[in-house]
Structure 1
Amino acid sequence: MPSTVEQLSPSRAKITVEVPFAELKPHLDKAYKEIAQQVQIPGFRPGHIPAAIIDQRFGPGVALEQALNEALPGLYSSAVDEHGLVPLTQPEIEVTKLEVGESVEFTAEVDVRPDFMIPAFDGIEVEVDAVESTEDELEEQVKILRERFATNTEVDRAAKEGDLVTFDLKATKDDELVEGGEAEGVTYRVGAGGMVEGMDEALTGMKAGETKSFTSTLVGGPAAGQEADIEVTVTKVQEQELPEVDDDFAQMVSEFDTADEMYDDLRENLARMHRVDQANTARDKVLEAVIGQIDMELPENLLASEISARNNQVDQELAQAGMTLKQYLADSDETEESEEEFRANLAQRSAEAVKAQLVLDRIAEDQDLQIEQTDLTEHLFARARANRTSPEQEMQHMLEHDHTNEWMTEIRRAKALALIVQSATVKDTEGNVIDLKNLQADGTYAEPAEAEGDTDVAEESADEAPAKKAAAKKAPAKKAAEKDADDTEVRVDDQAADEAKSVEADAE
């Protein structure tokens, strides 16, 4: 089967394949057989209609078209393998010559991975902030625990900052109720923020049974961004009494006997969180350093698809939040001054993401990185942690929604990124070299096997090791602070395709 390749650009190729008609005969025979089973012609039993009769009744091109549709994908794949191409998009196939009984010629244009040089990983050096936990952070964690176990007592007095107030709300415009602008039994801690502007000022000083009105701009729902008259009626005021931080408190909220032990554990939790943040920053910077040294032309169609997908996701999340992009930019910390600038920056991040994926795929291929059962297990555990599900549920989701190839690609990219990070030099701002090889998902470090033959320890999964260490040590039973640490858990080698920071999460 002769085939040639014309390189239309560094990232697009045109394959021309000529197929002897004899190679199509098995597919043609199969097509005639299937058509014979599907149609009814007087005088012939189903499945026993001669090919000549089918051609006579339906035209000679029907069976040939069906045979070509079945044969071309395999012929295309063979040509791709023959020329060592890496297709990145679906091909645009066109039959350019058809001589019945002689030959068939078709062309396939497709985006392909461009050729590029991979820099030496051991020559990459990046700097990250040093790990540092402050006492303010520690006290914030303790405050979370105290508020979780606080006592709320209903009081007959005016509300003040820190009180828990229950109220009914009604938003109107021109004396007409705004769509979605009515709610009952809303509970809010005065001074916590997150409500419409002016809410804290309105609630402060109000007693149960009192009503107050003010004007503000709605921040959510179908009428988000519109100015409306807000009427609030307080139904209950509760005073919060925080428990004292002593040994009794430590025993109530954790498995520790003393407040000092609880503080030590919370302090270590913070350190683990910062180690994870530091490792993720190092990962991103190392990948940025690698792709920054690589010059390539990105496949046009692949990039356009990525940009479109990211824009659509942002639009969907904004719609779910009841916001426009203009409102989001006005209310968020984004630095873009206009919607056009936001979209341009999103396109730039999409380009960086596509480039990183191509580089990681190439590294995984060059290093012949294989996916083991433990890799899939770790990936399922990581997804379960992120989605607050079980590994079994994630496995079922993968099979039901045909995510197997997609997730395997993620795992290979993650392993490729881990290989780069382990080879690079990472230092903190104090000049200390940071070893990320043994960092686990929870910010602890894996312990090496005690002996060369100790395969049980050496092969222990990344999810089992931290669990065994945690079982050997007391940890807060209520896990308020530890939950915050879990929310930030990301393996150094997880989610490698997300190297270009996205705005989708911010838009939620």
Structure 2
Amino acid sequence: MKISVRNLEPTKVRLTITVDNDEFEPYLDEARKEIGKQVNVPGFRKGHVPGKIIDQRIGFSTVAGEAVNSGVPDLYSKALAEKELHAMAQPQIDIKDIPESSKGDTKLKFTAEVEVRPQFDLPDIEGMEIEVAKPEVTDEDVNKRLDNLRQRFGTLVSIDRPAQTGDFASIDLEAVIDGESVDSQQGVSYELGSQTMLDGLDEALDGLSSGEETTFEGTLEAGEHAGEKAQIKVKVNSVKAEELPDLDDDFAQEASEFDTLEELKSDVRKQCERDAEGRQATDARDAFIAKLQEGIDIPVPKGVKSSMVEDQLKNANKGSEAATDDEKSEIEKNVEKELRDQMVLDALAEKMQVEVSQIDVTNFLASIAQQYGMDPSAFINAIVQNGQLGSAVQEVGRSKGMLAGMRAVTFKDTDGNVLDLSNFLGQDEAEAVEESESVQAASAAAAVADEIAHSDSSKQSQEED
């Protein structure tokens, strides 16, 4: 097989692949076998028709066409491996020549244009030291967690005063465009200051008392008039404030297994410290990836970036036309970082000679399924059927490579103390796969779970319709 490579862009190549006839012959034989299983030829049993007879009865061109369909993907993969290219997207295949007969001189020739991972050299991680900020737990952190706990035991009580931030109001809403009511809702419970509904609603409600109403201009965010300006009429039916329990020993006994408030505070501080250690491990991960990229110019594949940006805009329920320039810029920035991180971790996994076993992937996907309350077997089958297994393997490989690399690096806090991150990095490969959930790969599999759940929901809606 003759392979020539032409660089079209820093991250895009065109492979021209010419296949010798003897190398293409196994694919022709396999095509003849498959065709022989489907046709009836007098004097021969199905599946036992000689290849020469298949060529005569069915036609060599048909056999060659089947062989091309099955062989080109395999030959393309072999060409990538031989040239040590790492594809980032699906290729554009163009068949140039196909053998016209088993004895002819014409060879199979095709081109493949594909975006690939650019070439770059990772730094030597042997002896590498990385500084990570020291986690601190303040009294404010403890008090915030205690306040959150108090809110779980809080009650709403009616109040006879104007509404303010933090209050809960029962409201009626009506949207009017050109004097015509286009939407309305009654008895909606809304927390002032949460900014979870229409822009301008918080400002309109602030200072209103039960029974009062007002009108403001807002942009509708859903329905057939989404994106249109409307006059929003809002009426306050009632206002309630959250009443929190006193922070004392009685509360500690009601909200926990502890008898005193001091015991509860001590436990909450320990929880904060564990969370701080987790944040430090995350900071160490980010610092490690940033260190690997230090001083390296890594171009991003344009097509892959564009596709990812469009997907994220869709996930945010915004098309490229509806999104603002700032929103597009922010998404593009995040996508570029994500792609560079992925490419660096792929290269690191190769450098660390990481191997991903079937049990690694199975355990990883099963853990994600459990987080989403899905049956592990059904989830894994869905991953396979959706063609996402390769992505899962790649994500686990990235995580194992990253964790192996981080275990080879020395992390220190700002005081120069060596950090022990073994609780987060694991001690061996098996633990590394488990830790990958909290470090890197879970986000990708979770995205797959979201996609599958969304797909199932859409199918169910269509069936109901």
TM-score when scaled to structure 2?
0.76
Q: Structure 1: where are the runs of 5+ without partners? A: 327-338, 449-457, 466-488, 499-508
Q: Confirm whether residue 371 of structure 1 aligns to residue 356 of structure 2.
A: yes
Cα distance in 2, alignment partners of residues 74 and 189 from structure 1: 58
Cα distance in 1, alignment partners of residues 146 and 63 from structure 2: 75
Q: Structure 2: where are the runs of 5+ without partners? A: 446-465
Partner of 1:269: 271
Q: Confirm whether residue 414 of structure 1 aligns to residue 399 of structure 2.
A: yes
Query: Structure 1 residues 433, 254: CA separation in 2 closer, same or farther (over 3 Å shift)?
Result: same
Partner of 2:71: 71
Q: Confirm whether residue 197 of structure 1 aligns to residue 195 of structure 2.
A: no
Matches within 5 A, 1:40-51: none
- Contact 2:366–2:380 under 8 Å retained in 1: no
Partner of 2:390: 405
Matches within 5 A, 1:200-349: 202=205, 204-207=207-210, 210-218=211-219, 220-222=221-223, 223=225, 226-295=228-297, 303-319=301-317, 324-326=322-324, 339=325, 343=328, 346-349=331-334
- Contact 1:279–1:436 under 8 Å retained in 2: no
Higher relative contact order (CA 8 A, sep 6+): 1
Cα distance in 2, alignment partners of residues 275 and 317 from structure 1: 32
DSSP 3-state at the match of 1:182: strand
Query: Structure 1 residues 248, 197: CA separation in 2 closer, same or farther (over 3 Å shift)?
Result: same
Q: Confirm whether residue 186 of structure 1 aligns to residue 188 of structure 2.
A: yes
Cα distance in 2, alignment partners of residues 8 and 492 from structure 1: 35
TM-score when scaled to structure 1?
0.70
Q: Confirm whether residue 491 of structure 1 aligns to residue 417 of structure 2.
A: no
- Note the C-alpha offset of 1:261: 1.7
> Which of 371-380 and 360-369 deviates more?
371-380
Query: Structure 1 residues 494, 311: CA separation in 2 closer, same or farther (over 3 Å shift)?
Result: closer
Query: Structure 1 residues 23, 424: CA separation in 2 closer, same or farther (over 3 Å shift)?
Result: closer
- Note the C-alpha offset of 1:164: 3.0
> Which of 384-393 and 405-414 deviates more?
384-393
- Contact 2:400–2:432 under 8 Å retained in 1: no
Q: Confirm whether residue 62 of structure 1 aligns to residue 47 of structure 2.
A: no
- Note the C-alpha offset of 1:215: 1.1
Moved over 6 A (4+): 43-46, 48-58, 462-465
- Contact 2:356–2:396 under 8 Å retained in 1: yes
- Which residue identity lines up with residue 136 of structure 2 in the other structure? E
Query: Structure 1 residues 437, 384: CA separation in 2 closer, same or farther (over 3 Å shift)?
Result: farther
* Deviations, residues 278-301 of structure 1 (Å, cap 9, x unaligned): 322332232122123334555xxx
Pick the aligned partner of 2:139 from 127, 135, 159: 135
- Note the C-alpha offset of 1:128: 4.0
Cα distance in 2, alignment partners of residues 191 and 26 from structure 1: 69
Cα-Cα RMSD: 4.2
Cα distance in 2, alignment partners of residues 64 and 460 from structure 1: 46
Cα distance in 2, alignment partners of residues 124 and 224 from structure 1: 53
Cα distance in 2, alignment partners of residues 369 and 460 from structure 1: 12
Matches within 5 A, 1:99-118: 100=101, 101-103=103-105, 104-111=107-114, 112-118=116-122
- Contact 1:190–1:204 under 8 Å retained in 2: no
- Which residue identity lines up with residue 265 of structure 1 in the other structure? D
Pick the aligned partner of 1:438 from 422, 437, 451: 422
How many residues align? The count is 435
Partner of 1:329: none
- Which residue identity lines up with residue 64 of structure 2 in the other structure? L
Cα distance in 2, alignment partners of residues 462 and 88 from structure 1: 25
